[in-house]
Amino acid sequence: MGEFLRFENITKRYGQNTVLDNVTLEIQAGEVFSLLGPSGCGKTTLLRICGGFEPPDEGRVILDGVDITNVPANRRAVRTVFQNYALFPHLSVWENIAFGLKATGQDAKTILEKVPKYLELVQLTGYENRKPGQLSGGQRQRVAIARALINRPKVLLLDEPLAALDLKLRQRMLIELDTIHDDVGITFLFVTHDQQEAMSISDHIAVLRNGRVEQIGTPTELYEAPRTSFVAAFIGDTNFFEGTVETIEGDYCTLNIDGFPEIQLFNDKKVHRGEKIHVSIRPEKFFISAVRPEVTDAKTNLLHGKVEEVIYVGPHTRYWVRVQDWRVSVVQQHHGYGLDERRIKWDDEVWLRFGADNAYMLEHYAEVDEQLLALPDLEPEELEAVVEGGTQEVGSAE
């Protein structure tokens, strides 16, 4: 299937502030597409433009081949699940779900037929007489979803739909959303600042920052092949290294990182000798061991360092290993009880092994993005401040 929903060169300004800067996105029919980014990146504004609540200053929105840029909200085949759900407090669950049918003038028979079906879809049969005030957060959200889906929209917009729920419920609702999506087959446009949410539900993700698209791709592409240091740091955790290209042999090159032995690296960016580049290596791509492993393969790199910190979190253990001037974050999955890694403690000398294909070259690197990396002592608000501060600095550097 071809593109279904298309944002074409969307620009939106509030006064001096450019919220969206020439954003172009293509969304396929029936997929879950996420707009992911820190607060203030413009993702909600883009959603509101799609819903028809705000006009773009420039650009077009094309849905199913029709330019809907100037179509008012109530005439668009687009429905929204709002962040606070915006349920009608004076109406019962039944009336909330039936609202869209009544507002568009459908007859009583259709309403009587459809509402129970959608109550069932969101598992709220038996709750039809409750008022929104008598429902839990998860139930309210399900009402909002049923209400939005009942008119069979072409696109369902979800604005941080899980943000108001607690962690366990969020995980359950995420699975439920995925099930509902499979049931109805409607295109979902999902806005979130939570990379895990986006990763687990999306077919494609657009990472937005500062009103611009940083990268578009499948969750795997974004995670394994981040284009910039921002994407690498915002999605998951990683290590950044700066080095100079020494030699190039076929598809691989060797990289000289200060204090490291020579590193073998897959040369997907076609870099040249002497070029300074940044690479990202995910923590779980390292294998840690207390004894020096036998390396027979030329495409395997080996580092030697000292453990600075060990954090055991059940399924895996996180280590911070000092290798010369670098502090390398390593995550080791526990596949069995009492394996080698359990014996690694503070101040132990360890060996880190990683394959040449697991270090990824970045197109763009900004030092501020390092602040996005998992720092054990950063509160969420502080992290947000870092993100916003970071965007500004990057803006001025460009």
Residues that bind another protein (CB under 8 A): 51-53, 72-75, 78-80, 82, 84, 86-90, 92, 94-95, 99-100, 102-104, 128-129, 147-148, 151
Task: Collect all residues with Cβ–Cβ distance below 8 Å to 249 and sequence separation of at least 6.
Answer: none
Shortest spacing between CB 95 and another protein, in angstroms: 7
Shortest spacing between CB 153 and another protein, in angstroms: 9
Shortest spacing between CB 96 and another protein, in angstroms: 9
Shortest spacing between CB 287 and another protein, in angstroms: 50
Question: Nearer to another protein by C-beta: 83 or 171?
Answer: 83
Distance between CA atoms of residues 269 and 275, nearest Å = 11
Question: Nearer to another protein by C-beta: 23 or 78?
Answer: 78
- Torsion on CA atoms 111, 112, 117, 120, rounded to nearest 10: 120
Question: Nearer to another protein by C-beta: 56 or 243?
Answer: 56
Question: Nearer to another protein by C-beta: 39 or 104?
Answer: 104
Shortest spacing between CB 319 and another protein, in angstroms: 46
Shortest spacing between CB 74 and another protein, in angstroms: 4
Shortest spacing between CB 94 and another protein, in angstroms: 5
Distance between CA atoms of residues 168 and 180, nearest Å = 18
Look at the block and give the residue holding tokens 């969750």. Answer: 219
Q: What end-to-end distance do the CA atoms of the chain give, in Å?
A: 37
Look at the block and give the residue holding tokens 């995550």. Answer: 331
Task: Collect all residues with Cβ–Cβ distance below 8 Å to 90 and sequence separation of at least 6.
Answer: 131
Question: Nearer to another protein by C-beta: 191 or 386?
Answer: 191
Shortest spacing between CB 184 and another protein, in angstroms: 16
Question: Nearer to another protein by C-beta: 164 or 302?
Answer: 164
Question: Nearer to another protein by C-beta: 130 or 334?
Answer: 130
Question: Nearer to another protein by C-beta: 74 or 220?
Answer: 74
